[in-house]
């Protein structure tokens, strides 16, 4: 594994540290939506591009429901999120 390769937490590990997934406007790019992930201390863990997540969920053959989006994100929380 290279130093730049991202590894992810298991779904169960991610579910323990993620308190909220909030749809927000990107402050750096107007008219762009992001999904910001927060831990139980209300600290930002990471964020995902809203349009990319919705497209990926649909590509998996799923509806873009809250539960499917949450599952998609919880399966993609980077390991370094434990250090936050």
Mean pLDDT of the chain: 94
Give 48's contacts (C-beta < 8 A, 6+ positions apart).
34, 35, 37, 73, 76
Termini Cα distance of the chain:
23
pLDDT in tens, 3-36: 678 899 999 999 999 999 999 999 899 899 999 9
The C-alpha atoms of residue 22 and residue 66 are separated, in whole angstroms, by: 11
Return the domain boundaries, the chain. 11-83
Q: What is the pTM of this model?
A: 0.89
């Amino acid at each position: 594994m290279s130093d730049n390769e991202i590894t992810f937490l298991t779904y169960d590990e991610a579910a323990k540290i993620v308190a909220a997934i909030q749809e927000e406007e990107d402050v750096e790019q107007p008219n762009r939506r992001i999904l910001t992930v927060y831990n139980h201390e209300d600290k930002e863990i990471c964020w995902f591009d809203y349009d990319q997540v919705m497209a990926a969920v649909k590509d998996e053959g799923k509806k873009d429901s809250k539960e499917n989006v949450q599952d998609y994100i919880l399966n993609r929380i980077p390991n370094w999120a434990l250090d936050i």
